């Protein structure tokens, strides 16, 4: 249930305008996902859609400036309508790493200049959907690693993928993290706590209203992947 403060704000928001051409959030951080899940405009957080992000041939390393093809697919569905995609050291990182290229710009876009802008996280570093219509799977994107690897050299790729409001959404990450080729850190490095993907069960453990009130308000005002697509 939404906090009473948010419930009072709902009549004031522009629900007559159907925004479906950009995501309403910039990260898959637990606080953001919990707030969106509670708001309900993307449906319920689920694990049944089985969306996956995978590199080619189980690649586990990256080299600065050398692009890697990332594929979004699913075992259980052939389409999706909304998406947020970025690379970072943790799901809640303040900086998104590298940039994206060679994607279908008819249905995807950089989140730099959308009403819910993610430019503060990095230029051309965050992708989102553009139309809110069914997009057929699989889809591919080229991710170009940053010229300077982050401390720890580990990079994950995260996504929030929406089927439609009646069927919900999932938070996912690359099948395996990527480590700097020839670097000092390997695949058995400890898992960052913030990278434990939010699931339907963890989302139900909602933080206090004061912690997610700003997130929900931002999402509702931006709406993005909210009303019309879901």
- Domain membership of residue 131 (yes or no) is yes
- Domain membership of residue 217 (yes or no) is yes
- The separation between CA 218 and the C-alpha centre of its own chain, rounded to angstroms, equals 16
- Domain membership of residue 13 (yes or no) is no
The closest alpha carbon to 89, from 162, 28, 150, 9, belongs to 150
- Domain membership of residue 11 (yes or no) is no
- Domain membership of residue 174 (yes or no) is yes
Q: Are strands 178-180 and 61-62 parallel, antiparallel or unpaired?
A: parallel
Identify the CATH number of the domain in which residue 151 sits: 2.60.40.4060
Task: Count up the domains in the chain and report the number.
Answer: 1
- Domain membership of residue 2 (yes or no) is no
Residues in a beta bridge with 83: 161
- Domain membership of residue 102 (yes or no) is yes
Range of the structural domain that residue 65 is part of? 19-222
Mean pLDDT of the chain: 80
How confident is the model over 67-124, as pLDDT tens digits? Answer: 999 999 999 999 999 999 999 999 999 999 999 999 999 999 999 999 999 999 999 9
User: What is the rounded distance in angstroms from the CA atom of residue 150 to the CA atom of residue 178?
Assistant: 12
User: What is the rounded distance in angstroms from the CA atom of residue 104 to the CA atom of residue 16?
Assistant: 29
How confident is the model over 141-156, as pLDDT tens digits? Answer: 999 999 999 999 999 9
pLDDT higher than threshold 90 for residue 14? no
Element (H, E) at 100: strand 99-101
Does this model's pTM top 0.85? My answer is no
Percentage of the chain beyond pLDDT 90 is 65
């Amino acid at each position: 249930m939404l906090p009473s403060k948010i419930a009072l704000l709902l009549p004031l928001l522009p629900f007559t305008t159907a925004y479906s051409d950009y995501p309403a959030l910039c990260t898959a951080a637990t606080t953001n996902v919990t707030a969106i899940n509670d708001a309900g405009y993307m449906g319920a957080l689920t694990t049944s859609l089985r969306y996956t992000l995978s590199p080619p041939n189980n690649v586990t390393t990256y080299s600065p400036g050398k692009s890697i093809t990332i594929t979004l697919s699913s075992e259980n569905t052939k389409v999706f309508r909304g998406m947020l995609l970025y690379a970072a050291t943790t799901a809640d990182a303040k900086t998104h790493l590298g940039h994206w290229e060679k994607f279908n710009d008819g249905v995807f876009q950089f989140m730099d200049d959308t009403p819910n802008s993610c430019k503060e996280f990095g230029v051309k570093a965050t992708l989102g959907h553009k139309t809110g219509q069914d997009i057929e799977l699989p889809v591919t994107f080229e991710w170009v690693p940053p010229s300077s690897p982050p401390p720890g050299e580990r990079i994950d790729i995260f996504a929030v993928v929406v089927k439609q409001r009646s069927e919900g959404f999932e938070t996912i990450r690359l099948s395996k993290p990527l480590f700097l080729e020839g670097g000092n850190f390997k695949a058995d490095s400890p898992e960052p706590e913030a990278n434990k993907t939010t699931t339907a069960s963890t989302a139900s453990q909602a933080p206090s209203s004061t912690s997610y009130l700003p997130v929900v308000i931002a999402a509702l005002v931006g709406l993005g992947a909210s009303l019309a697509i879901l």
